[in-house]
């Protein structure tokens, strides 16, 4: 298994708050890695640094042999990093197919692709996510589950190698959540993406992830197999409180 | 014998015969028909009533300014309230070159293009730096500053008198024929702009512009080079507007900032966009013709009161037509990928 | 040299206080309603010409004319609020265009009935004459206007900090939706703010009308200053507005007396604002809230 992403000692602070401090991470191709931690642990900040929304204060990020620490977001996307958002952020005035077409057109430099080709491509991803019947509905009119599916379709349409999934379960009912989890697992099989899965519902990661990384107050406190993490007394203590790491 | 209109069809029953005509809008959407009409109109007016030609020129020029403004608005995702700045830049550049160097319209066009390109590139970073509201306000102020500069350096810009003696755009001897040719040129420029922007909004660049319009951050995460798109869709429309400044300077033979740079002229352009069809490019053509003719009619009917009544009518139309004049005909459909205006707070 | 510095400082205070009056309303509307009142220019025109209409054309006493003008202005504000702002709160482009049109209408109506040749002059001078401060002569009226500027601003600040309504306004400026849940009647507060914001402008215009020239297009110039001040002050923060007013006042005074080229005033102010925006895009203020 070859290494696809390597994060070396990155830190980020907002004012006086250390959101992420000195975190290192390595992901191999084809893996599903869980990233968990209580609210405000710096999970999303870490993802924002890897995808390029925030600048990294210290440390560096390597993706497939490229140093992407200072690369603009869109170029990282062209290299094959994509993400979904914790709170879905659709293009409100674009139809579902239109927003997926944006990704299909610009997610990667492709040759000989017209707008029509991109639309055909987009239908494929929409169908995969079960949104084909909603293809002509505006982004602002979709329901939460549909929005999450749309976000996944949009992210997949950029043909990523590494996909960040940010809390798919939040706000969904159990049935929908199960569907969403299965959808991501299918996407992994079909498109061969590597997944970094942010979640604070332990049960999902126990099933889906091969490896789990735990963040707490911006620091990495544990890493290992899901079973080991679940039984780690330190992690349990952090989740239940009375921990001042 | 009975005639009925049913489901976008005109039905004619005569005995046992039944005739149907589709009156579905799409049959009216043939661009060739409309372009043909626009070309025939000046010819008809030239033959019948040549005094109307200046109004037609005006209408075409207004539409031609509003079309690139629509592109600029959509491409940068922000509403630019200072389009007249580039008209001023192009106009002054062309007029100065024509007066001091004695150049005709052809070389000064190049000067105007360079001026438009220069100021467009100079100001395009603003669309990246400044957020929605700040951008709106700053673009509103720039033309006013330019106006003040023309008053400060009176020896160069000749203040509110304006620059005189710009070489005419076309001179064939006959005044009416001159006007007709100028009218055709204005129409030509407008149609070219319409073609360019229409093709652009149907191409694969449209989705990235609408994505930027909707959510810049997500657009960038999905691989759109936001800065590049914004700078291009700021600079090129600026150049397109500068060309119209060149046109104004050579058409009237004089160029004064006080005519074009104040808010009143900007409002007129804005109204062409808004009343025409909320930055729909075809609406701009309708809006341009509508506003030019409304102004003419009001001056003929009301004379002295027309400057008062004109904005009142525009205000009423703005508040009563939710999608503009073009929206009366064209209802927005989800299937269309044309980006629409969306001003962010 | 010393004289120049002295004059510049005096005029910084004078102009700054006046600009405070001029831009306080614009800033407040920005901060509370979160819209740009680009029709703000109409207030200046309306103040002068409505008073003139009642005073001169209808030959009413000046005090009555002013009272009638204030009432009428309040009614117009409410009409604008219900006619345009409340209806199109979500469609910014319509609000901005509509408000600009209103300013243009006011401008044109004034120009039609009282063109610049009509010699509009309001005798609202409180104490005539001028006084020597250091080595500069300044009209007493201007000093009174500046003092009123500071007083009115202080009253506004007190109002927002000490009263229940002021608290509601501040709550709205922090978070609209939460304040709705907390039971604040947002529509009423908005309307109230719309009416409240005309007061500083009225005070300013009545004070400077006898000193500075009035004409139907003067509103744009004042709005220009108001826009600069409120962009610089962080769009609606009163603290930022106060600081920005004096900065703009200083820039204007500097251009007028040190550079000795009054025509450069607005250009210099704009350049200062643009430079500041590039350094600090969110304006002077720490937050976009009211205080």
Return averaged pLDDT per consecutive 10 residues of chain A, 245 residues in all: 84 84 87 84 86 86 87 88 87 85 82 77 90 86 89 90 86 86 88 87 80 86 83 77 53
pLDDT for the residue numbered B344? 44
**Under 8 Å between Cβ of B42 and B51:** no
The domain spans of chain C are 2-125+139-279
pLDDT for the residue numbered A242? 57
Contact flag C36-B136 (C-beta cutoff 8 Å): yes
How is domain A1-80+160-245 classified at the CATH fold level?
Rossmann fold (3.40.50)
User: Taking CB atoms and an 8 Å cutoff, what residues of chain B touch A138?
Assistant: 334
Contact flag B204-A114 (C-beta cutoff 8 Å): yes
DSSP C223-254: HHHHHHHHHHTTSS-HHHHHHHHHHHHHHHHI
Which residues partner with B3 through β-bridges?
A: B12
Chain B, nearest residue to A115 by Cα: B204
Q: How far apart are CA B97 and CA B242, in angstroms?
A: 14
The domain spans of chain B are 49-263
DSSP chain A: --EEEEEEEEEEEETTEEEEEEEEEEEETT-EEEEE-STTSSHHHHHHHHHTSS--SEEEEEETTEE-TT--HHHHHHHTEEE--SS----TTSBHHHHHHHHHHHSS--SS--HHHHHHHHHHHHHHTT-GGGTTSBGGGS-HHHHHHHHHHHHHHT--SEEEEE-SSTT--HHHHHHHHHHHHHHHHHH--EEEEE-S-HHHHHHH-SEEEEEETTEEEEEE-HHHHHH-HHHHHHHHS----
pLDDT > 90 in chain B, percent: 27
The domain spans of chain A are 1-80+160-245, 91-159
ipTM of the shown complex: 0.84
Contact flag B222-A98 (C-beta cutoff 8 Å): no
Work out the pLDDT band at B283, boundaries 50, 70, 90.
Answer: confident
Residue A110's region, left for phi above 0, alpha for psi from -120 to 50, else beta, is beta
Contact flag A115-B204 (C-beta cutoff 8 Å): yes
Average pLDDT of B243-260? Answer: 89
Q: Given a cut of 60, is residue B334 above it in pLDDT?
A: no
Per-residue pLDDT of chain C in tens (291 residues, 90 and over written 9): 678 888 888 889 888 999 999 898 888 888 888 788 888 889 999 998 999 899 988 888 888 999 999 999 999 999 999 988 888 877 777 888 889 899 989 988 998 888 877 777 777 777 777 888 777 788 888 888 889 999 999 999 899 888 888 888 888 888 788 888 888 888 888 899 889 889 999 998 888 888 887 888 888 888 888 888 888 887 778 888 999 999 999 999 888 888 777 778 888 888 888 788 777 766 777 666 676
Count the alpha carbons within 13 Å of C33 in the hemisphere toward its beta carbon. Answer: 31
H/E element, B2:
strand B2-6
Contact flag C266-B148 (C-beta cutoff 8 Å): yes
**Under 8 Å between Cβ of A88 and A152:** no
Sign of the dihedral through C-alpha C87, C93, C96, C102:
negative
Q: If contacts are CB pairs under 8 Å, which of residues 192-251 in chain C contact chain B?
A: 220, 224, 227-228, 231, 235
pLDDT > 90 in chain C, percent: 15
- Nearest CB to C270: which of B79, B134, B145? B145
Contact flag C96-B79 (C-beta cutoff 8 Å): yes
Contact flag B214-A74 (C-beta cutoff 8 Å): no
pLDDT tens digit sequence for C124-173: 777 777 888 777 788 888 888 889 999 999 999 899 888 888 888 888 88
- For chain A, the C-alpha Rg in angstroms (whole number) is 18
Contact flag B215-A118 (C-beta cutoff 8 Å): no
Within 8 A by CB and 6+ apart from A189, the residues are none
Say whether residue C109 is in contact with chain B using an 8 A CB cutoff: yes
Say whether residue B203 is in contact with chain A using an 8 A CB cutoff: yes
Name which of C81, C105, C228, C281 to mutate to probe chain B: the one with the most chain B Cβ atoms within 10 A of its Cβ.
C105
Contact residues, chain B to chain C, C-beta under 8 Å: 79, 81, 129-131, 133-134, 136-138, 140-141, 144-145, 148-149, 151-152, 262-264, 267, 270-271, 274, 278, 304-305, 307-308, 310-312, 314-315, 318-319, 341, 343, 345
Contact flag B278-C93 (C-beta cutoff 8 Å): yes
């Amino acid at each position: 298994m070859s290494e696809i992403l390597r994060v070396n000692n990155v830190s980020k602070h907002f004012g006086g708050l250390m959101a992420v401090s000195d975190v290192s991470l390595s992901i191999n191709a084809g893996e599903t890695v869980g990233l968990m931690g209580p609210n405000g642990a710096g999970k999303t900040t870490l993802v924002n640094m890897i995808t390029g929304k925030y600048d990294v204060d210290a440390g560096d990020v390597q993706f497939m042999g490229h140093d992407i620490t200072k690369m603009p977001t869109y170029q990282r996307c062209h290299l094959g990093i994509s993400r979904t958002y914790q709170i879905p952020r659709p293009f409100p005035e674009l139809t579902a197919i239109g927003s997926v077409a944006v990704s299909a057109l610009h997610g990667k430099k492709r040759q000989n692709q017209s707008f029509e080709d991109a639309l055909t491509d987009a239908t494929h991803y929409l169908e995969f996510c079960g949104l084909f019947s909603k293809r002509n509905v505006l982004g602002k009119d979709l329901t939460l589950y549909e929005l999450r599916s749309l976000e996944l379709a949009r992210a997949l349409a950029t043909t990523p190698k590494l996909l960040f999934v940010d809390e798919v379960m939040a706000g969904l009912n159990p049935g929908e959540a199960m569907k969403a989890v299965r959808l991501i697992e299918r996407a992994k099989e079909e498109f061969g993406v590597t997944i970094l899965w942010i979640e604070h519902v332990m049960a999902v990661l126990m099933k889906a992830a091969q490896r789990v990384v735990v963040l707490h107050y911006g620091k990495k406190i544990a890493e290992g197999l899901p079973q080991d993490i679940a039984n780690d007394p330190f992690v349990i203590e952090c989740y239940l409180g009375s921990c001042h790491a | 014998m009975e005639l009925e209109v049913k489901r976008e069809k005109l039905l004619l029953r005569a005995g046992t015969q039944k005739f149907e005509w589709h009156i579905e809008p799409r049959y009216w959407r043939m661009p060739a028909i409309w372009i043909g009409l626009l070309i025939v109109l000046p010819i008809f007016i030239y033959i019948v009533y040549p005094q109307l030609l200046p109004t037609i020129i005006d209408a075409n020029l207004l539409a031609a300014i509003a079309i690139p403004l629509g592109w600029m608005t959509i491409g940068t995702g922000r509403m630019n309230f200072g389009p007249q700045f580039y008209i001023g830049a192009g106009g002054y550049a062309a007029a100065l070159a024509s007066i001091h160097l004695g150049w005709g319209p052809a070389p000064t066009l190049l000067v105007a293009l360079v001026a438009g390109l220069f100021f467009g590139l100079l100001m395009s970073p603003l669309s990246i730096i400044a957020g929605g509201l700040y951008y709106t306000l700053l673009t509103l102020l720039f033309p006013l500053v330019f106006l003040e500069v023309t008053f400060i350096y009176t020896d160069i810009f000749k203040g509110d008198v304006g620059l005189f003696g710009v070489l005419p755009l076309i001179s064939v001897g006959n005044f009416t024929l001159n006007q007709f040719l100028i009218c055709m040129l204005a129409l030509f420029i407008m149609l070219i702009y319409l073609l360019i922007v229409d093709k652009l909004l149907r191409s694969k660049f449209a989705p990235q512009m609408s994505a930027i319009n909707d959510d810049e951050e997500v657009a960038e995460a999905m691989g759109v080079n936001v800065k590049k798109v914004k700078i291009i869709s700021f600079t090129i429309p600026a150049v397109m507007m500068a060309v119209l400044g060149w046109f104004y300077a050579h058409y009237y033979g004089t160029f004064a900032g006080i005519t074009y740079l104040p808010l009143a002229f900007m409002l007129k352009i804005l109204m062409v966009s808004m009343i025409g069809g909320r930055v729909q490019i075809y609406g701009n053509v309708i809006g341009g013709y509508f506003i030019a003719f409304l102004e003419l009619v009001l001056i003929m009917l009301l004379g002295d009161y027309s400057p008062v009544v004109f904005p009142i009518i525009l205000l009423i139309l703005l508040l009563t037509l939710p999608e503009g004049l073009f929206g009366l005909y064209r209802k927005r459909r989800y299937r269309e990928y044309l980006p629409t205006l969306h001003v962010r707070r | 040299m010393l004289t120049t510095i002295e004059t510049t400082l005096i005029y910084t205070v004078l102009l700054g206080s006046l600009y405070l009056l001029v831009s306080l309303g614009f800033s407040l509307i920005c901060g509370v309603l979160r819209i740009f009142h680009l029709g703000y220019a109409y207030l200046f025109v309306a103040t002068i010409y409505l008073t003139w209409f009642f005073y001169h054309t209808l030959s009413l006493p000046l005090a009555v004319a002013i009272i009638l003008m204030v009432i009428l202005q309040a009614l117009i504000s409410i009409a604008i609020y219900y006619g345009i702002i409340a209806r199109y709160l979500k469609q910014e482009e319509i609000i901005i265009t509509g408000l600009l049109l209103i300013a243009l209408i006011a401008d044109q109506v004034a120009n039609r009935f009282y063109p610049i040749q009509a010699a509009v002059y309001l005798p609202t001078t409180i104490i005539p004459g001028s006084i020597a401060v250091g080595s500069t002569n300044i009209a007493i009226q201007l000093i009174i206007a500046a003092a009123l500027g500071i007083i009115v601003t202080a009253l506004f600040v007190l109002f927002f900090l000490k009263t229940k309504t002021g608290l509601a306004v501040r709550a709205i400026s922090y978070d609209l939706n939460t304040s709705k849940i907390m039971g604040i009647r947002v529509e009423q507060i908005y309307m109230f703010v719309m009416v409240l914001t005309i007061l500083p402008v009225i005070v300013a215009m009545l004070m400077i009308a006898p000193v500075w020239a009035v004409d139907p297009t003067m509103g744009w110039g004042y709005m220009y200053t108001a826009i600069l001040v409120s962009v610089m002050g962080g769009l609606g923060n009163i603290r930022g507005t106060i600081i920005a007013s004096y900065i703009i006042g200083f820039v204007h005074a500097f251009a007028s007396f040190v550079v000795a080229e009054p025509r450069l005033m607005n250009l210099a102010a704009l350049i200062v604002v643009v430079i500041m925006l590039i350094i600090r895009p969110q304006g002077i203020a720490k937050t976009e809230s009211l205080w």
